[in-house]
Chain A
Amino acid sequence: MLPTESKKALSFKRYIEDGDLVIVYERHDVMKPVKVSKDAVLQNRFGVYKHSDWIGKPLGTKVFSNKGKFVYLLAPTPELWTLVLSHRTQILYIADISFVVMYLEVVPGCVVLESGTGSGSLSTSLARAVAPTGHVYSFDFHEQRAVSAREDFEKTGISSLVTVEVRDIQGEGFPEKLSGLADSVFLDLPQPWLAVPSAAKMLKQDGVLCSFSPCIEQVQRTCEVLRSDFIEIRTFEVLLRTYEVKEVKMDTSSMVGESHEEDNEGMRPCKRKHRSNEDVTVSQDNSSNATSVVMARPCSEARGYIAWRTVNSTPELFSDESLPAEAKDKQGLDYKRKMDDGLWTFVDMASGRYLWRNLKEMREKSQ
């Protein structure tokens, strides 16, 4: 997934080879990671796809099933991976991930510590940020989760950038051998305040610590502990609002006494600028006085959260597959979200969470 040398960069990697990991894209809410193997086939409701047909094709192209239906084959990215990975825990989504990476100031060559590993959603993005020379040390107290995470990192080809260890960071702290080496530390723990003193030891001067908690009471307690070793403590709530775009026919027949032109202006106040130099956006159907207009509105925030829950628990909401959600999770990495009208509904969930950020206090010994 990530280039560790220039030859492996996406722009050089245009054709699919045997053994590649690709994301099979049916729809924005139906994607699946597949390892290309020349003798294997992919079966979905559109028919059977032979992997051997894929080899040698450029990424980003259509491939057809025996019934003539197509899917797209895409290069895996951490974002696509976040959508398809199997959820062993609640995971961080794109709004949180991008904000965390930005605030932790992670750049190539950085050493980043993370606990816990969870499903490895954030770890993948951290690995992307530290590549090619940095490293992510990820810790989880759950043995099985650590094993699964390692398998995933092997699959996505980032295992050289991420080390997963089984360790209870709240109880034992980070390993001494990493003391003073970390550029950034990320905590996603139930009692992060217990890990703060150890995290402080791990950080380089001016290093950044970020802790991620769903409850304000956790934030409160962590901040109290942070105040003794950190400066510039900040807490944020991050959200992402998604918009749906539709072409809608609007009746523009005039009210009594109004001319057609004036009516148009009234209907679409924000379209004025575009009408002057664009002709495709607004297509006038003279016979019926109906105008097609491209419009956007926010998708409801509430649905975003329900949609996430449906991934795990409410299979009957899905449009066309009858497998129970749990089976799907186990069977592998099928990501589902509720669809509405064939257009965009919800695309990403990022519920309100809190995040705080610190600059590490300069050490006495550097004085």
Chain B
Amino acid sequence: MELNKDQTVMSEDKKPQDPNPRFACEGCSVLLDVNDGDRLVFARLSGGAILKIGNKNYSLKPLIGAPFGSLFQVETGEDGSFLSRILPIKQDNSSNNVMDDSRDNREIVDNNEAQNLTGEEIEAMRREGAKGDEIIEALIANSKTFDKKFQLSQEKYKLKKQKKYAPKLLLRRPFARSICEAYFKKYPARIGFLRVDALSLLLTMANVTAYSDVLVVDMVGGLVTGAVAERLGGTGYVCNTYKGSSPYPVEMVRMFNFSDKVLERIVQSSINELSSANTASPEGNNQQEGETSSTSDIMVEEISATTEAGVVDIVVPESKVIKAAKAGAKASKETIEMWRENGFSSLIIAAQDQDPWSVAKDVLPLLSYSAPFVIYHQYLQPLATCMHKLQQGKMAINLQITEPWLREYQVLPSRSHPHMQMSSFGGYVLSGIRISTT
């Protein structure tokens, strides 16, 4: 608990600078998981931030200072309902052999008369301050059929009622993994159907590590940029490049709890600037400065637009708005000069709506020789075409197209099987190593 206090005090005068924070401090970004993934909400913690669960609003204040991984439950007190931290219920392993249960559901008749408690009675219990668990117990006691149910059906019944009357909220650390999973679940099109295992392949195959200079073409909202920055840990650079005059939005970078040190390493520069042989004149540089500020404005607009569109339920704090530091400053003249001379050490292209070859032919020459690259696409054919052209042009070796495949399992005593729902598609990845053509 003392550690909690220290963290909270620290957060009052400065933003979290721990590269791997384990506590949710004021002003940081958190991922809230309501009822085991039924609802995923990104929020920025502040005293005034609220979250609506069911038909009630709850202050997120109790979350401040709590370690990530904490579980909260709705409770009712004198001043109304609030979120209270609870310990996870330890599951009893001893009496779990369901196969010995001889009950089944043969006597269950679906006629809506099984429950004796009425809606009004339940509401009255709530008004009197009954805890969610107490309501569930009352529901079970007043159910005519509960005892006749098969053990598994009983568990399902309890779980259903728990979700309604005693919703649980898990405080999760926003990490590339959880952010990708949340978006893939709710808005997969926004991230080009880039599933978490595909994202992990991109980072691995591109050899992203400390002190890398990673060139990215991120048209998936900043997910790749953020994931790369996470692996760089405030070293090297992730440079977001783009065709034309305005960079692609990377608003998802805000969801990560990046320190300023990490954010400084996220920069952007257009393909033209990176490719052009001659250095920019002083006037050109001034012009770039002007662009930088306008770019920032665009970014803010993007974020608010996203909020309105309801992308992953971003909670807007009621009173004090704490803004995360901005990422994506213009790459400095010196760094661009350095990249022109040495080349980038990795390349990741995640450009949905763009033909992979037309992007690759422009950006691949910016890589060092022997540097690995990966191209993500949700369609196979354009990647096949791109791979063929790279082979013909002898621009790369070790080329391969792969498709990740992921299946989740339920593992319980005597009840292990694959999940009913599985994602049958997580995109395709073309990878290779750039070589000298001479």
| B435 close to A99 (CB less than 8 A) | no
- Check: A34 CB closer than 8 A to any chain B CB: no
- Check: A323 CB closer than 8 A to any chain B CB: no
Chain A neighbourhood of B372, CB < 8 A: 77, 79
Complex Cα gap A280–B412 (Å): 54
| A14 close to B369 (CB less than 8 A) | yes
Question: Which residue from chain A places its CB closest to the CB of B89 in the assembled complex?
Answer: A231
Given contacts A205-B22, A245-B388, contact A274 B380 (CB under 8 A): no
CB distance from A112 to the nearest CB of B (A): 12
| B409 close to A236 (CB less than 8 A) | yes
| A12 close to B342 (CB less than 8 A) | yes
Given contacts A11-B342, A241-B403, contact A227 B91 (CB under 8 A): yes
| B197 close to A98 (CB less than 8 A) | yes
**B88 CB contact (under 8 Å) in A28, A74, A132, A361:** A361
| B342 close to A77 (CB less than 8 A) | no
Given contacts A60-B435, A102-B177, contact A97 B230 (CB under 8 A): no
**B385 CB contact (under 8 Å) in A231, A242, A281, A347:** A281
Residue interface bits B192-210, CB-to-A below 8 A is 1, else 0: 0000110111011101011
Chain A neighbourhood of B378, CB < 8 A: none
Chain A neighbourhood of B212, CB < 8 A: 3, 9-11
Question: Which residue from chain A places its CB closest to the CB of B368 in the assembled complex?
Answer: A11
Complex Cα gap A59–B403 (Å): 29
- Check: B350 CB closer than 8 A to any chain A CB: no
The interface-forming segment of A38-46, A123-131, A146-154, A163-171 is: A123-131
- Check: B344 CB closer than 8 A to any chain A CB: yes
| A108 close to B175 (CB less than 8 A) | no
| A205 close to B69 (CB less than 8 A) | yes
**Residues of chain B in range 228-258 having any CB-CB distance to chain A below 8 Å:** 230-236
Chain A neighbourhood of B70, CB < 8 A: 362
| B369 close to A237 (CB less than 8 A) | no
**B371 CB contact (under 8 Å) in A60, A105, A216, A348:** A60
**A78 CB contact (under 8 Å) in B197, B207, B369, B383:** B207
- Check: B102 CB closer than 8 A to any chain A CB: no
Chain A neighbourhood of B233, CB < 8 A: 107-109, 133
**Residues of chain B in range 359-407 having any CB-CB distance to chain A below 8 Å:** 368-372, 380-385, 387-389, 397-407
The interface-forming segment of A137-145, A256-264, A306-314, A352-360 is: A352-360
**Residues of chain B in range 157-190 having any CB-CB distance to chain A below 8 Å:** 170, 173, 175-177
Chain B neighbourhood of A243, CB < 8 A: 380, 384, 400-403, 428
CB distance from A214 to the nearest CB of B (A): 14
- Check: A295 CB closer than 8 A to any chain B CB: yes
Given contacts A61-B369, A105-B177, A240-B404, contact A235 B409 (CB under 8 A): yes
Given contacts A14-B368, A103-B177, contact A228 B93 (CB under 8 A): yes
Complex Cα gap A95–B402 (Å): 10
- Check: B27 CB closer than 8 A to any chain A CB: no
**A97 CB contact (under 8 Å) in B204, B209, B400, B411:** B204
Chain A neighbourhood of B177, CB < 8 A: 102-103, 105
How many A-B residue pairs lie within 8 Å, measured between CB atoms?
A: 265
| B210 close to A294 (CB less than 8 A) | no
| A239 close to B19 (CB less than 8 A) | no
Complex Cα gap A204–B345 (Å): 33
| B387 close to A245 (CB less than 8 A) | yes
Chain B neighbourhood of A237, CB < 8 A: 406-409, 418
- Check: B75 CB closer than 8 A to any chain A CB: no
| A102 close to B176 (CB less than 8 A) | yes
Chain B neighbourhood of A328, CB < 8 A: none
Residue interface bits A60-79, CB-to-B below 8 A is 1, else 0: 11100000000011110111
Interface residue total, chain B, C-beta cutoff 8 A: 87
- Check: B306 CB closer than 8 A to any chain A CB: no
Given contacts A99-B200, A108-B231, A243-B380, contact A61 B436 (CB under 8 A): yes
Complex Cα gap A204–B380 (Å): 42
**B402 CB contact (under 8 Å) in A59, A75, A347:** A347
Chain A neighbourhood of B170, CB < 8 A: 232
- Check: B433 CB closer than 8 A to any chain A CB: yes
Chain B neighbourhood of A356, CB < 8 A: 411
Chain B neighbourhood of A72, CB < 8 A: 397, 435
Interface centre among A10, A131, A206 (most CB of B within 10 A): A10
Complex Cα gap A281–B386 (Å): 9
**A220 CB contact (under 8 Å) in B231, B344, B407, B413:** B413
**A242 CB contact (under 8 Å) in B384, B400, B406:** B400
Given contacts A60-B368, A243-B384, contact A5 B211 (CB under 8 A): yes
Residue interface bits A274-286, CB-to-B below 8 A is 1, else 0: 1001101100000
Chain B neighbourhood of A238, CB < 8 A: 197, 404-406
The 9 closest A-B pairs by CB, nearest first: A60-B369, A108-B233, A60-B370, A98-B204, A102-B200, A206-B69, A59-B370, A296-B384, A9-B211
Residue contacts A-B, CB under 8 angstroms, 30 given? A2-B209, A3-B209, A3-B211, A3-B212, A6-B211, A10-B207, A11-B213, A14-B369, A58-B369, A60-B368, A60-B435, A74-B370, A97-B204, A99-B200, A102-B177, A102-B197, A107-B20, A125-B204, A132-B235, A227-B93, A228-B90, A237-B406, A237-B418, A240-B404, A243-B380, A277-B355, A296-B401, A347-B400, A362-B69, A362-B87
